[in-house]
Amino acid sequence: MLTNSNVAFRRLFHSSVRLSCEGKKNKEVKPPEEAGWAFNHVEKKMGMYKPKHTITEQLAYMKSKAYDDAYKGLPIYRWVNRSYSRRHDFFCIDKHGRFNLNHACPVCRDEYLFFDYRNPALIEQFLADGTDQPIDILKSGLCREQYAQLKAQLLRAKEHGTIPFAVDFRNFDYRQWYKQWTDEPGKPVERAGVRLQDIHPDPLVSFPTFKNDKGNDWDEWWLRHDKFARKAK
The string of pLDDT tens digits covering residues 84-129 is 555 556 788 888 888 888 888 899 988 899 999 999 999 999 998 8
Residues 6+ apart with CB under 8 A from 139: 77
pTM: 0.58
Query: What Å distances lie between residue 41 and 101, 111, 177, CA to CA?
Result: 15, 10, 62
* 63, amino acid identity: K
Residue 39 scores a pLDDT above 90: no
Q: Where are the domains of the chain?
A: 31-160, 168-211
Which among 94, 103, 85, 90 has a CA at the least distance from the CA of 141?
A: 85
- The pLDDT of residue 79 is above 60: yes
Residues 6+ apart with CB under 8 A from 118: 55, 162
Q: Any idea which of 21-30, 61-70, 71-80, 217-226 has the lowest mean pLDDT?
A: 21-30
Q: Are 162 and 115 in contact (CB under 8 A)?
A: no
pLDDT on residue 179: 85
Q: What is the pLDDT of residue 218?
A: 61
Q: Are 145 and 110 in contact (CB under 8 A)?
A: no
Q: Which residue type sits at 100?
A: N
At 108, which helix (H) or strand (E)? none
Over the stretch 142-174, which tens digit does the pLDDT of each residue have? 988 999 999 999 999 988 989 987 766 667 888
